[in-house]
Chain A
Amino acid sequence: MRLLRTAERAGITDLAHKVLAGERLSRADGVRLYQADLYAVGELANYVRERLHGDRTYFNVNQHVNYTNICNKLCRFCAFQRLPNQEGAYWMTPEQVGQKITAQLHQPVTEVHMVAGIHPKLDYQYYLDILRAAKRARPSIHVKAFTMVELDQIAKKAKKPLQEVLPELIEAGLGSCPGGGAEVFADRVHQESYHLKMSGEQWLETARTVHRAGLRSNCTMLHGHIETIEERVDHLDRLRLLQDETGGFQTYIPLSFHPDNTEMADIPGPTALDELREIAVARLLLDNIPHIKAYWILMDVPVAQTALAFGADDVDGTVVEEKIYHEAGATTPQEVAREELVRWIRDAGRVPVERDTLYQVVWSGDPEQAQVGGAVPVGTR
């Protein structure tokens, strides 16, 4: 078998046998995956990716709404945040959030991804109102909103425990939660780069609460700044343990640190090859998380396409109006047409499958398979 030969040359035959047998890799194995030859690790990750998904590669038609950039967390790796009176600071009224969604009614959007800064003056009612505004503007839309950090703030504003707040958010239209704000769980990294924000342990506890409320969520790691390999493995292992318990994570998304306009601008950020390895290691360690996403808007198209051979099975979506990474120097377009995404995936030798937020198939490009859902009629789901 080809991958065993490659693994042998790279000195990871034992890991290859574990992967072929479907055995869980240890933390020590994870560290070795970060050090072994990239192609050997990639071939193993690709094997797992194909065992789970064949050639299928998921995408969705989505839009982003960053309802405010005002934030009091002062994370050193962020270029999006503004202080309340700083130039460029903004927040959107619920009406404005609704207008953002109405503006895309001509597109077959199935999801709005709604995340933002922690604006201390926004009250609990505001969060309920923006959910309702989104659903009113497009009743079929799935609202994937609020990172664990925002949920923590919302519960504080509501002056109630999160488990009591979540049913009300769900009632107002919340469909699932995005995976941001996890950064790197290790205490050292927390202290040095984002100490005003919740710790790793709190993030995991919040995610646990979210899953127990019946919501699915994603998870992430912001890699390529001050964290060590051991800290990355620790982060992935802690995600894996929570997933064993709840099963609530759908997708893991490695987020590449973008240095421009941040307090860490002297750190160059991960290379394209680092990004490929991050995808591959995650696919191998996170044996209980179904999907690994190559988020094209921050990796850029060449890396995202290549990542589809290194363990990724999802490329995110059409992403109308990305702000957070573009403030940090991302030079990718801020949106892409659905047909262009389909072409990228096909050119990478994979079969495009349009999904909704919960990975129900909307359309399948599999030539050996009748279309499962057909295109979504605009505004009817």
Chain B
Amino acid sequence: MDSPTAAHLDLHPQTLPSDLHPGLPPERASRATQGPYAPELDRLAGKIEDGVRITPEEGLYLHDHADLLLLGRLADTVRERKHPEGRVTYIVDRNLNPTNVCITDCGFCAFYRRPGAEGAYVMERPELHRRMQELADLGGRQVLMQGGHHPRLKTAWWCELFQDLRQHFPLINLHALSAPELDHLAKLDKRPVQEVLRDLIAAGLGSVPGAGAEMLVERVRAIIAPKKTTTDRWLAVHRAVHEAGLRSSATMMFGHVETHAERIEHMERLRALQDETGGFTAFACWTMQPEGVPQQELYPRKATPGTYLRVQALARIYLDNIDNMQTSYVTQGLKAAQMTLRMGCNDFGGTMLEENVVSAAGCFNLAPIEKLEQQIRRAGFTPVRRNSWYGLDDARLGAPSGPKNRAEAATHKGALSGGVA
């Protein structure tokens, strides 16, 4: 061969990068795979693969030392064990925020208005009906109804609304009023939250969303939401919800002022309550969206997707007693959501025909249903529609399976007797 060889040209076939960089130390094995943390990570991996619960200390160790590959794979293992059918569920729903008037003044919220402020609203009934009808026309099964802490809208106002909506839209479950709102109603009514719940359930409340948990750590709440329901109250309200015969979901908003240990603390509180009641259907988490919120100066820059994926995967591993994990495509986008299907998530949440609360904070990521199904399918899963209690409700599967209503889903069965099913 008379053509010049690589050696003539001072190019080095199969030259490894460390040779190209004499200034750097010899290649360093990753801390996660072969470094000093590897033996403990191996032990924890074995434990999780065997289905053994991990401690808060072990959770923190994984958070800080495992790489995304290990966390993702372990979360995927747990998801596979809990959901071996290869289905990813979602629900056709929309958000309705009947009011944005709020007296809680959370500095991370771009949605609320003070009473009387410009843009403050309470939605008129015809408008609510119009939006419910749009949802019903699309085969919707749930309306996620949350709003501000309005100083004058009491339990009776909500009960009347719920009765009206149940009567007109019997197929649409009212997934409504987060724990801080329920707590707020109890304060306005000056009576225990149990009594408020009894009335709301009688009026048609079907399940309770997990919002308002933010971080269930008082140090953090004192900074980000000093006027909002405390950690203990949030947990007490959910306990009351479960004991009243309703199911609820759980959430976490992170990536702001909390420490890594506080993320674990939050998960530990949810896991402990779930051991007690079993009432949480699902867990969802998302990162704080700091753009355009009232107290933006309080917050660091938005957490990167890598942080979200890490925490989401860890949550699947840690919350071993919660059946379902929702991905957050609204805040993270469809590509991240698709990856989470192999990092612990088995549910795409709601189709959210609109999302006022998050989108007001400069994040609008609405995916049409078909595109959403395509993402699920192309990640290797079968998309299936569900109801609010994670019963399957999809004509393509034939008859519905799993709980069909709040009574069938209840963990505290006796509680609902006498109420409307």
Contacts and interface: CB of A to CB of B under 8 A. Distances in A.
Interface of A: 2-3, 6, 38-39, 42-43, 46-47, 50-56, 211-212, 214, 216, 243-248, 268, 271-273, 276, 287-288, 290-291, 299-303, 305-306, 309-310, 313, 343-344, 347-349, 353, 359-361, 364, 366, 368-369, 372-373
A363 to B, nearest CB: 12
Contact of B13 (A39, A56, A243, A313): A243
A273 B333 CA distance: 14
Contacts of B17: 52-53, 290-291, 313, 359
A333 to B, nearest CB: 13
Given A39-B73, A343-B304, A276 B27 contact: no
B277 interface: no
B339 A306 contact: yes
Nearest to A6: B73
B33 A301 contact: no
Name the residue in B25, B32, B45, B305 with the highest tally of chain A Cβ atoms < 10 Å from its Cβ.
Answer: B305
Contact of B342 (A3, A273, A287, A300): A273
A273 B380 contact: yes
Given A54-B29, A302-B306, A244 B9 contact: no
Interface string B309-353: 100000000000000000000001101101100100000000000
5 contacts: A51-B29, A53-B27, A302-B308, A305-B68, A309-B72
Nearest to A43: B69
B9 A302 contact: no
A303 B6 CA distance: 35
Contacts of A353: 24
B24 A56 contact: yes
B33 A50 contact: yes
B32 A303 contact: no
B259 interface: no
Nearest to B4: A212
B14 A244 contact: yes
Given A46-B33, A248-B11, A372-B23, A212 B306 contact: no
B31 A347 contact: no
A46 B332 CA distance: 25
Contacts of A56: 24, 28
Interface string B103-115: 0000000000000
A272 B29 contact: no
Among B18, B32, B339: residue with most chain A CB under 10 A: B339
Nearest to B10: A214
A6 B49 CA distance: 11
Contacts of B339: 272-273, 276, 302-303, 306
B379 interface: yes
Contact of B12 (A54, A245, A247): A247
A39 B69 contact: yes
B130 interface: no
Residue with the highest number of chain A CB atoms closer than 10 Å, among B3, B45, B304? B304
Given A212-B4, A245-B6, A246-B11, A306 B29 contact: no
A272 B28 CA distance: 28
A39 B378 contact: no
Given A243-B13, A349-B67, A361-B23, 10 more contacts: A3-B33, A244-B14, A248-B11, A271-B335, A300-B336, A302-B309, A302-B333, A313-B17, A359-B21, A360-B21
A359 B20 CA distance: 8
Contacts of A290: 15-17, 20
A61 to B, nearest CB: 18
B374 interface: yes
Contacts of B70: 2
B134 interface: no
B30 interface: yes
A175 B73 CA distance: 42
Contacts of B68: 305-306, 309, 348-349
B306 A271 contact: no
A289 B70 CA distance: 26
How many chain B residues sit at the interface, stated as a range, is 35 or more
Given A268-B378, A344-B304, A372-B24, A349 B342 contact: no
Contacts of B69: 39, 42-43, 46, 309-310
B14 A302 contact: no
A365 to B, nearest CB: 12
B253 interface: no
A68 B14 CA distance: 35
A302 B378 contact: no
A369 B12 contact: no
Complex A-B, nearest 10 residue pairs according to Cβ-Cβ distance, in ascending order? A54-B28, A302-B305, A247-B13, A302-B336, A305-B306, A309-B69, A347-B304, A347-B306, A50-B30, A39-B73
B16 A273 contact: no
A22 to B, nearest CB: 11
A271 B378 contact: yes
A305 B336 CA distance: 10
A55 B31 contact: yes
B67 A309 contact: yes
Contacts of B29: 50-51, 54
A335 to B, nearest CB: 17
Of A6, A39, A42, A303, which is in contact with the most chain B CB atoms at under 10 Å from its CB? A39
Given A46-B33, A348-B68, A211 B306 contact: no
Contact of B11 (A3, A216, A291, A313): A216
B6 A247 contact: yes
A93 to B, nearest CB: 35
A21 B27 CA distance: 17
B73 A288 contact: no
B27 A54 contact: yes
Contacts of A373: 23
Contacts of B303: 347
Contacts of A54: 27-30
Given A50-B29, A55-B28, A368-B25, A247 B14 contact: yes
Contact of B379 (A2, A246, A273, A368): A273
B104 to A, nearest CB: 31
Contacts of A245: 6, 13
B338 A271 contact: yes
B72 A39 contact: yes
B375 interface: yes
Interface string B23-51: 11101111111100010011001000000
Contacts of B45: 2
Contact of B33 (A47, A368, A369): A47
Given A54-B27, A247-B12, A348-B68, A306 B306 contact: yes
A2 B27 contact: no
